[in-house]
Structure 1
Amino acid sequence: MEEHQGPPDGPPVYALRSVFRVYEMRREGDRLLYFGDPIVSPDVLERHVWPLFREAGYEVTLEVRTGEHVLVAEPHTTGVDGIPWTNVVFALLTVLTTLFAGIEWYGATVSLDDPLSLLQTWPFAAAVLGVLGIHELGHYVMSRYHDVNATLPYFIPVPTIFGTMGAVIKMKGRIPDRKALFDIGVAGPLAGLLAAMVVTAVGLQLEPVAAGPVYSIETLNYPPLIQFIAALTGADLNPPGARVNPVVVGGWVGMFVTFLNLLPVGQLDGGHLVRAMLGERQETVGALVPAGLFGLGGYLFFVQEEALQAITLWFFWGMVAIALAYAGPASPVVDDELGRGRMLVGVFTFVLGLLCFTPVPFTFVAM
């Protein structure tokens, strides 16, 4: 094979020869396949070939097919191809589940003869979906800024007390460097927290609703950030004979989700931030997270035995953290250092996350 040969729109063979000896090339649909033998480690190989393929408009991965090493290059794109029907359907279903969840938060009466009566709970649904959606859009916008392929947000409709299990976006492309990893990771929590703070402040100015347990929840405990907003606005988090407006619950959900997302482990936002800030030392931090969550659950078990739900919650997240730590965070192609500015923003973001934490998020009515 002549060294200058190669697909007309892909990198030439000679550009790869210092890290990958190509002996065959093939086109498979819109993908380019370079069969050969790597002569360096996979990490070094990726750092060398990734910018070459990206410049040609491709995302590249090293695969092993029937014992042969092959560089598989797929067209790089960051745009939305057509109408994202799956995203749309999941979003509409989540609108319905959050509207239904709001029925009990408002103590509303919905008639089957008048389906539009369900819309009376729209402020709660808008608060929850707005905070979660803005969080994920923060990730999406920064992904587009750094030319990393990512999906639009997928909302998760679940008929729970909040009507949803959150929202996610899927990263389809590699992260070019630590700066991009940090920016994409931090944009979600900061955007979502800003939205949650605004929603909370607005909700505290709305009329309280009738008192009484909601979904068997006797007490919804507020993190320091909500208490600060209430003090700043002069609002009462425990109005006499009533409960705060359910819009405040939307802000509470946003802050609780932000705290969980900022746990510094695996593919969570906190895991990405610590990976960007500390490099491979993130593995040590990630390994400590499950122990911290199990320790918190154990502490509550011996000190506040009545907080059974919180104990179960933190033990559950301890198990999740073990799986996340095993999977690990995303790794950037170029593992360079972050600047002082981003490091300070990272520390500030984790401090905000701690202000969203409460050891016992809620307590249920004793049976």
Structure 2
Amino acid sequence: MDDQPLPSDLPDPDSLGDSFLVYEVEVGDDQVLYYGDLAGAKEAVLRTLSPRFRERGYRVSLEYRMGEHVLVATERSTGIDGIPWTNVVLFGLTVLTTLYAGSQWYGIDVAADPLAIVGAWPFALSVVGVLAVHELGHYVFSRYHDVEATLPYFIPIPSILGTLGAVIRMNDTIPDRRALFDIGVAGPLAGLVATVVVTAVGVSLPPVPVSEGSVVAGLDIGYPPLVAGIAALLGEPLAYGDGRMVNPVVVGGWVGAFVTFLNLLPVGQLDGSHVTRALLGERIGTIQRAVPVGLFGLAAYLFVFENGRGAQLWALWGVLSLLFLRGGTATPMDETSVDRTRWVIGGVTLLLGLSCFTPIPIAITG
């Protein structure tokens, strides 16, 4: 036994005997380790014990260390301690990479005048904005359900879009299917609102010239029904002749739609998996296994009938979906079914996700 006393707000080891037979406790600075033997299946043990620790302000995990089962209790904190420098730095880098990407869409010669990159701020704001609103939706509802989650981690990359998106991490158990649904669906719905606003603003702005031989001149963007529908409602075109293209802010709306569709794929830890898991429970397994099959099938179709345009993208996502499958999906502690209202919201969200799909999102034309 460790010399430090067990914190008074933690369950007494003897009270866990119905699920976990404790024979030693080790108290550390930031964790308490209960060594013992399982009195049932791992998932059943966690499902039984997690609520007991959660109500006392702790989250637990079961690990297997050096031949022993260990119940690890860590104090929960839904607040933000200090300045999250990793999040801040990644956000700053993403602003820079999206500004650089925007300079290519606007035809700004950054090499001749580095400060001119600031002129690409509408593109950077639209892309970073839709991603931030999406992740903010997750974060707000994580806090609402008292689930420990990080601030968004933006992923900068020097490319034609400037980013690979953003993610938050939930460092906690999910109390029930209702919380899993709300947290999962909040991101796509918030992101869709931002996408609609950005797209509407973008199609209303004047087109920009495209220099022959530039990177963007060799790209063909496929607009999903959501973006095309907004443009049609506002009576604005999505294609111009004579060396012109839509305002790059529209590309920000396209990014929002594309990210929404990908996130709503019901596999692994993606939002669509959280929503579907909350609605269907453990029956989600069959649907998850169908996702890579569908993605590889789409890639094969494009390879055969569309000269391979877009095939590599969906083949890549087919591989990623297989990796997501191996990572598993979120498992709520309480499996009580969600209410009818959430079923309706879930169905509408998934349908809106389909409106963000286009078989060839982007392709090289030259």
Q: What's the TM-score, normalizing by structure 1?
A: 0.94
Alpha carbons 1:99, 1:125 under 8 Å: kept: yes
- How many matched pairs? 360
Written as runs of structure 1 = structure 2, the 5 A alignment for 1:27-38 is: 27-38=27-38
Show structure 2 runs of 5+ residues with no match. none
The aligned amino acid for 1:364 is: I
Does the aligned pair in 2 maintain the 1:111–1:117 contact within 8 Å? no
SS for the counterpart of 1:263 is coil
Tell me which amino acid in the other structure corresponds to 2:98.
Answer: T
Contact 1:222 1:361 in 2 (8 A): yes
Matched residue SS, 2:128: helix
**Within-5 A mapping of 1:56-71:** 56-71=56-71
Q: Cα offset for 1:321?
A: 1.1
Describe the SS at the equivalent of 2:312: helix
User: CA offset at residue 83 of structure 1?
Assistant: 0.2
Deviation of 1:347 after TM superposition, in Å, equals: 1.0
Give the CA deviation at 1:161.
0.6
Tell me whether 28-37 or 261-270 shows the greater mean CA deviation: 28-37
Over 3 Å off, 4+ runs? 211-218
CA RMSD of aligned residues (A): 1.7
The Cα shift of 1:235 comes to: 1.0
- State how far apart, in whole Å, the 2-side matches of 1:214 and 1:351 are: 34
1:74-123, Cα deviation, whole Å (9 max, x unpaired): 110111110000111111111111111111101123355x5332100000
1:188 counterpart residue number:
187
Is the Cα–Cα contact under 8 Å of residues 32 and 73 in structure 1 kept in the other structure?
yes
Q: For residue 95 of structure 2, what is the amino acid of its counterpart?
A: V
Closer, same or farther: CA 256–49 of 1 in aligned 2, 3 Å: same
Report 1:4-43 matches (<5 A).
Answer: 7-43=7-43
User: Is 1:110 aligned with 2:110?
Assistant: yes
SS class of match (2:27): strand
Task: Please give the alpha-carbon distance, in whole angstroms, between the structure 1 residues aligned to 2:219 and 2:250.
Answer: 16
Shift of 1:276: 1.1
List aligned pairs for 1:1-367, cutoff 5 A: 7-110=7-110, 114-211=113-210, 214-215=215-216, 217-241=218-242, 242-305=244-307, 308-366=308-366
Residues 224-243 of structure 1, C-alpha deviations (whole Å, 9 max, x = no match):
01111011111111134321
1:61 Cα deviation (Å)? 1.3
The answer (yes or no) to whether the contact 1:6–1:13 under 8 Å persists in 2 is: no
- Counterpart code for 1:293: L
Q: CA deviation at 1:332?
A: 1.1
| SS across alignment from 2:277 | helix
Query: Does the aligned pair in 2 maintain the 1:36–1:70 contact within 8 Å?
Result: yes
How far 1:190 moved relative to its partner? Answer: 0.6
CA contact (8 A) 1:286 1:325 kept: yes
1:204 is paired with a residue whose SS is helix
State the Cα deviation string for residues 203-229 of structure 1 (Å, max 9, x = none). 111111014564353321211011110
* CA offsets 1:16-52 (integer angstroms, 9 cap, x no match): 1222222222211132222222212222211221111
Deviation at 1:6, TM superposition (A): 5.4
The range that moved more, 95-104 or 323-332, is: 323-332
Counterpart-to-counterpart distance in 2, 1:206 and 1:145: 37
The percentage of aligned residue pairs carrying the same residue is: 55
2:197 maps to a residue whose letter is V
Q: Larger deviation: 172-181 or 36-45?
A: 36-45
Q: Deviations over 1:119-140 (max 9, x none)?
A: 0000000000000111111111
| DSSP 3-state at the match of 1:166 | strand
Q: Is the 8 A contact 1:283 1:328 kept in 2?
A: no
1:135 touches 1:188 (CA, 8 Å); kept in 2?
A: yes
The alpha-carbon distance between structure 1 residues 338 and 116, as it changes in their structure 2 partners (threshold 3 A), is same
The AA in structure 2 aligned to 1:340 is: R
Question: Can you give the 5+ residue segments of structure 1 that lack an aligned partner in the other structure?
Answer: none
* Alignment deviations for residues 155-199 of structure 1 (CA, whole Å, 9 cap, x no partner): 111011101111111111111111111111111111111101100
Cα separation, 2, equivalents of 1:314 and 1:198 = 27
Deviations 1:277-302 (A, max 9, x none): 11111111010111111111111222
CA contact (8 A) 1:297 1:311 kept: yes
Q: 2: distance between equivalents of 1:11 and 1:217?
A: 63
Q: Secondary structure at the match of 1:352?
A: helix
TM-score (ref. length: structure 2): 0.94
